[in-house]
A and B are shown apart, each in its own frame.
Chain A
């Protein structure tokens, strides 16, 4: 068994060998050929918009980007289902759009900057969006923001 770990900012490979009933522990520097899948610690409640998200959410974000145009916003309002199909959204993305659920939209690959244009169609501002994602009422969310000023 081999496990990787970081020690003093240098990637090391941890070696665990079972010899009969004994376990031998060792370590050596990583070398070419080691399979290294370094992952950064997860930040709670946060989904960095990386390559994986960008691939997953491309069509959803492309649709939201189209909402820069008033004509496109009107077309979406006129027939949501047809508009979503035109952009080739998958079922997960369509369901998240129908539900107006920001957390589901992020899970489906949505990016905050483009999703904001979708929210804008319904006249929702960033505090509405924040309240929805944190499960608060808008006044509760506003109070949370104000509280950050006094800490």
Chain B
């Protein structure tokens, strides 16, 4: 069976794409953000996952309001990135892991989750940039993108996304393959782009949230979406992705070991978080 080796989580911001493109990683503004990554890359170089299952939210590249799925799973051989309208460079396509996609779709639907399946799916900066951050060279992993709606309310609850993550984690471990799989979250942490409250950041909550993923992973599932928007901002709710990632790890391991974490305010309007967790071993 496939082995679930651990989880990764990072914020995503379009401007990161521009910074990578221009080589600004050591620029004073960007350094505190990019310096979080080398220890995690070192760990990834050791555990060498073959496949990454990515929880992310689309920002109006693949999905528009005409059809807005709550949970959409990619099942494509290849995922293209495309122009998002901001002039950030378009990245080359990423390789899909179609067998695992369908295994997840089948197993998770069996657990009463109703999914949208996508044999064609454009992936935006939220999916591509984390891959670039963790593997700056040629991408050595194939992917299964899982898109969670954070655009149009009602959004799925924190509790529901955590449960989805758990079901995805169980599916990964029942996949008949000798491949190593990591789960990844792309989103958050606290930020708000719109309204008079634009620029809202909640450092206390973010730090408590990161800590909870180590010590008490279901802590944030107590909050409603309304609570999370109030505490973390309209786009801070993207922390749902981190709960999906963490839920997946819960399925194979009683505890996790922190590989590395980083937290920095601000990049663009966002409090940026970074975390890598290693599965501490099977029950």
Contact = CB atoms under 8 A, between A and B. Distances in A.
Given A102-B194, A145-B265, A146-B266, A113 B60 contact: yes
A46 B269 contact: no
Nearest to B192: A46
A49 B195 contact: no
Counting chain A CB atoms within 10 Å of each CB, which of B82, B84, B86, B268 scores highest?
B86
A113 B57 CA distance: 11
Interface stretch (B46-54, B170-178, B226-234, B252-260): B226-234
A129 B193 contact: yes
A111 interface: yes
Nearest to B204: A151
A144 B199 contact: yes
A73 B87 CA distance: 11
Interface stretch (B98-106, B113-121, B127-135, B148-156): B148-156
Counting chain A CB atoms within 10 Å of each CB, which of B60, B82, B87, B235 scores highest?
B60
Contacts of A65: 60, 64-65
A116 B59 CA distance: 10
Given A51-B153, A102-B194, A145-B199, A68 B266 contact: no
B153 A48 contact: yes
A149 interface: yes
Contacts of A129: 193, 198
- Main DSSP-derived SS at the B contact region: loop
A50 B235 contact: no
B83 interface: yes
Contact of B234 (A48, A116, A130): A48
A62 B68 CA distance: 13
Interface in A94-151: 102-103, 106, 111-117, 120-121, 123, 125-127, 129-130, 133-134, 141, 144-146, 148-149, 151
A46 B234 contact: yes
A141 B200 CA distance: 11
A67 B61 CA distance: 10
Counting chain B CB atoms within 10 Å of each CB, which of A40, A126, A129 scores highest?
A126
Interface in B44-97: 59-61, 64-66, 82-87
A149 to B, nearest CB: 4
Interface in B149-195: 151-154, 192-195
A136 to B, nearest CB: 9
Counting chain A CB atoms within 10 Å of each CB, which of B66, B82, B152, B195 scores highest?
B195
A139 B269 CA distance: 13
A69 interface: yes
B195 A133 contact: yes
Nearest to B57: A113
B141 interface: no
A43 interface: yes
Contacts of A20: none
A44 B198 CA distance: 11
A123 B212 CA distance: 38
Counting chain B CB atoms within 10 Å of each CB, which of A117, A130, A141 scores highest?
A130
Contact of A46 (B60, B83, B229): B229
Contacts of B235: 112
A97 to B, nearest CB: 15
A117 B266 CA distance: 21
Contacts of B41: none
A61 interface: yes
B196 interface: yes
Contacts of B213: none
20 contacts: A43-B226, A43-B229, A45-B196, A46-B230, A48-B229, A54-B152, A58-B65, A62-B65, A62-B66, A64-B60, A106-B195, A112-B194, A112-B234, A116-B59, A116-B86, A126-B193, A127-B269, A133-B195, A134-B196, A148-B271
Given A50-B154, A126-B268, 12 more contacts: A40-B226, A45-B200, A48-B226, A51-B152, A62-B66, A67-B85, A68-B84, A73-B85, A120-B85, A121-B85, A134-B199, A146-B266
